[in-house]
Copies of this chain bind each other. A is one copy, B any other.
Amino acid sequence: MSQFENVSVVKQANVYFDGKCISHSVQFADGTKKSVGVVLPATLTFNTGVPETMECVAGACRYKLKDGDWQSSRAGESFSIPGNSSFDIEVVGEPYHYVCHFG
């Protein structure tokens, strides 16, 4: 499924790290919130509040959970980050397109 149906989308984007990561917030009829976004080539560290699952839609990244090793994620793959934690993400070459699932 390449698109979300019957959702609301916030017009203003979320811009992180001077635009190295840009996302738009999406909300489903049941109140579930996700975001659709892009990480441009960069190495960034993100903090989580609630747990997150990063689903790769296109491109690829390497990521490292706190106290974890570097691993890869590409289109069709996902990785999950605990709440109140952090992770490093490295994108090289092409942008990493993602859906972020919360909770």
Given contacts A22-B22, A24-B24, A24-B36, contact A10 B2 (CB under 8 A): yes
Given contacts A15-B95, A19-B95, A38-B19, contact A6 B8 (CB under 8 A): yes
How many identical subunits does the complex contain?
2
Q: Which of A1-31 contact B (CB under 8 A)?
A: 1-13, 15, 18-19, 22, 24, 26-27
Beyond contacts A4-B11, A11-B99: 15 other A-B pairs, Cβ-Cβ < 8 A, are A3-B8, A3-B9, A3-B11, A4-B8, A7-B7, A7-B9, A9-B24, A9-B26, A12-B58, A13-B22, A13-B97, A15-B40, A19-B40, A22-B22, A22-B38
24 A-B contacts (beta carbon < 8 Å): A1-B11, A2-B10, A2-B11, A3-B8, A3-B10, A3-B11, A4-B9, A4-B11, A5-B8, A6-B6, A7-B7, A7-B8, A9-B26, A11-B57, A11-B97, A11-B99, A13-B36, A13-B95, A13-B97, A19-B19, A19-B95, A22-B22, A22-B38, A24-B24
